[in-house]
Amino acid sequence: MRHSQREKPQQLELPFAPFAPRAALAPPTPTVAPPPAPPPRPAFLRVIQGGGERTREPLTSRDSVVRVLVEAGADLLLRRISPERAEAIERDVNEILDIFDRVDATPGLMPVLRRKLDALEALMGETRDRRRRPGSAR
């Protein structure tokens, strides 16, 4: 029989003292005063007092278009709009975001972008009107 040339794996051993005196396990007392506590951090969320009026944000940026998608997703989850309408909104938003990217390289596409943004605003206006009317068809 041949013996393997490989070395046997080494095992690390940690001291185990389950019945060690309590003083031996206690951390040493600090001789230096601990640093002062940092000032309290401001809250991430804050309440903004408003008059209860809703304002329609004009669709002029990528962020405002993405907020439309988030709004449609919330409406879909709350069953205020149909899946078909949510898909139509998602399709329009994706197309508009793609045009936003292309407008950076080709400014001549700006009229196309404006037309698509106007169409999305009209679709969202219709969607918001439908959701305000109880019992309306989705």
Q: Looking at residue 53, what is its pLDDT? A: 60
Q: Is residue 26 part of a domain?
A: no
Pairwise CA distance, residues 99 & 114, whole Å = 10
Residue 97 included in any domain = yes
Q: What is the pLDDT of residue 112?
A: 94
∠ CA 135-136-138, rounded to 5° = 120
**Can you tell me the mean pLDDT for 99-112?**
91
Mean pLDDT of 103-122: 91
* pLDDT, position 56: 72
Confidence at residue 80, expressed as pLDDT on a 0 to 100 scale: 87
Q: Structurally, how many domains does the chain consist of?
A: 1
What per-residue confidence (pLDDT) applies to 110? 93
- Indicate whether 18 belongs to any domain: no
pLDDT of residue 123: 86
> Does a structural domain hold residue 109?
yes
Range of the domain at 113: 82-132
| 92 part of a folded domain | yes
Mean pLDDT, the chain, rounded, equals 77
Q: Classify the C-alpha dihedral 70-90-88-68 as positive or negative.
A: positive
Can you give the pTM of this predicted structure? 0.55
Between 72 and 45, name the one with better pLDDT.
72
Q: How confident is the model at residue 51 (pLDDT cuts 50, 70, 90)?
A: low
CA distances from 79 to 21, 93, 131, 133 (A): 64, 20, 10, 14
Q: Is the pLDDT of residue 58 over 90?
A: no
Which percentage of the chain shows pLDDT scores above 70? 62
Whether the pLDDT of residue 25 is over 60: the answer is no
- Position 13 in a domain: no
Answer for the pair 72, 86: CB distance below 8 angstroms, yes or no: yes
